[in-house]
Amino acid sequence: MNKTHVAILGGGSFGTTLANIVAENGHDARLWLRDEAQAEAINTQHVNQRYMPDYPLHQNLLASTDLRTVVEGAELILVSLPSSAFVSVVTDMAQYLTPEQLLVSTTKGVVPGGFELMSQALVKATSGQPVGVLSGPNLAKEIGKHMPTATVIASDNAELRERVQTLLANKYFRVYASNDMFGVELGGALKNIYAIISGLAAALGMGENTRSMLITRSLAEMSRFAVRMGANPMTFIGLAGVGDLIATCMSPLSRNYRVGYALGKGGSLEQVVAELGEVAEGVNTLKLVKQKADELEIYMPLVNGLYQVLFNNLAVVDVVEALMKSDQSSDVEFILPRVE
């Protein structure tokens, strides 16, 4: 295998995990992050003490705070930044790019200030480089333990899809392909909202019937929204849809699930987010999706309910009660259309 230079932007848990996969696969993995001390620790101690303290990193993984050094000459650039920092960093990165470099967003969120997806922001900030999205049920700490995991690379560019599959796939990380970039990206962003709801339900001791209902109605709701935005409904029966939704709604490793669980135990939103120490994208995404759903008149009772819980002090039991009392409708509206 020829050694390939791959750049990873973002020293959080998933960015670090991806960089480690690249290094383990025998490629030149360069990880960009802002914290000089954190970069030095990765290079000398081979561990990300802040986000992945229990997972040793490959010795060939090189961390740097110099964006130009990391990006220049990279065949593939994986952008694993929080949504709040995404635009500023990729805008800064654009000056170092060449036309043939492949750009892939792994951020599961929406650009603050408007309903713009990360892939759209990436296209806007750069100069025509091929763009893709990587998303799926990918809990970083499980990947760090080499537990078998699969993800989806979505792009209109076949060469990009094939290169990402070649560079990232190994014995514990499998990469499937899709050409529905918006569907895959929206699945990754929207499921964070419903993970908060699932965490709330678990904290309040709701049974498996209730949680099953919430997860499947979440899938119906997020696919309804995504299809209205131009996605393919079939995407949501795959890894980036139901797969990611199950993983993030059932696991305490999910940041968004932990936010919901802590809220269900009585914590305030500000306290919970501060104690978490990492960005929970679902809180930011909720506001933007609620605004867009209202604008387009998309039926999203769970989004509306969670918004009332987080920002207007509505009780979770009232949200569930409202769901149970809502108009009877079809189960899968792509088979039997829902009557408005």
pLDDT in tens, 88-117: 999 999 999 999 999 999 999 898 777 899
* 111 and 257 fall within a common domain: no
* Separation of alpha carbons 46 and 57, rounded Å: 5
- Identify whether the C-beta of residue 26 lies closer than 8 Å to the C-beta of residue 36: no
Confidence grade of residue 237 (pLDDT, cut at 50, 70, 90): very high
pLDDT in tens, 292-329: 999 999 999 999 999 998 888 888 778 777 777 776 67
- Within a domain: residue 169? yes
Helix orientation angle between 208-228 and 301-312, rounded to the nearest 10 degrees: 110
- Within a domain: residue 88? yes
Helices (H), the chain: 13-24, 36-45, 67-71, 83-93, 118-125, 140-144, 158-168, 181-203, 208-228, 244-250, 255-264, 269-276, 281-296, 301-312, 316-325
Distances (CA, A) of 256 to 122, 263, 266: 24, 11, 16
β 116-117/131-135 pair status: unpaired
- Does the pLDDT of residue 340 top 60, yes or no? no
Going 254 to 260 to 262 to 267, the CA torsion angle's sign is positive
- Identify whether the C-beta of residue 286 lies closer than 8 Å to the C-beta of residue 229: no
* 16 and 139 fall within a common domain: yes
Give the CATH number for residue 143: 3.40.50.720
- Does the pLDDT of residue 243 top 70, yes or no? yes
Average of per-residue pLDDT values in the chain: 92
pLDDT in tens, 53-89: 999 999 999 999 999 999 999 999 999 999 889 999 9
* The pLDDT of residue 179: 97
* 191 catalytic residue (yes or no): yes
* 12 and 139 fall within a common domain: yes
* 55 and 142 fall within a common domain: yes
| Tokens coding 23 | 């290094």
Residue 319: domain span: 190-325
C-alpha 270: how far from chain center: 22
- Identify whether the C-beta of residue 70 lies closer than 8 Å to the C-beta of residue 2: no
| Tokens coding 264 | 């269900």
Q: Residues 6 or more apart from 196 whose CB is under 8 A from it?
A: 256, 257, 259, 260, 263, 280, 282, 283, 286, 306, 310
Catalytic residue (choose from 191, 287, 290, 292): 191
* The pLDDT of residue 270: 81
Going 42 to 161 to 229 to 187, the CA torsion angle's sign is negative
Q: How crowded is residue 322: how many other Cβ atoms within 10 Å of its Cβ?
A: 15
* The pLDDT of residue 141: 93
pLDDT in tens, 180-215: 999 999 999 999 999 999 999 999 898 899 889 999
- Within a domain: residue 270? yes
* The pLDDT of residue 113: 76
* 158 and 259 fall within a common domain: no
Domains contained in the chain, number = 2
* 57 and 27 fall within a common domain: yes
- Identify whether the C-beta of residue 104 lies closer than 8 Å to the C-beta of residue 123: no
Residue with tokens 């039926």: 299
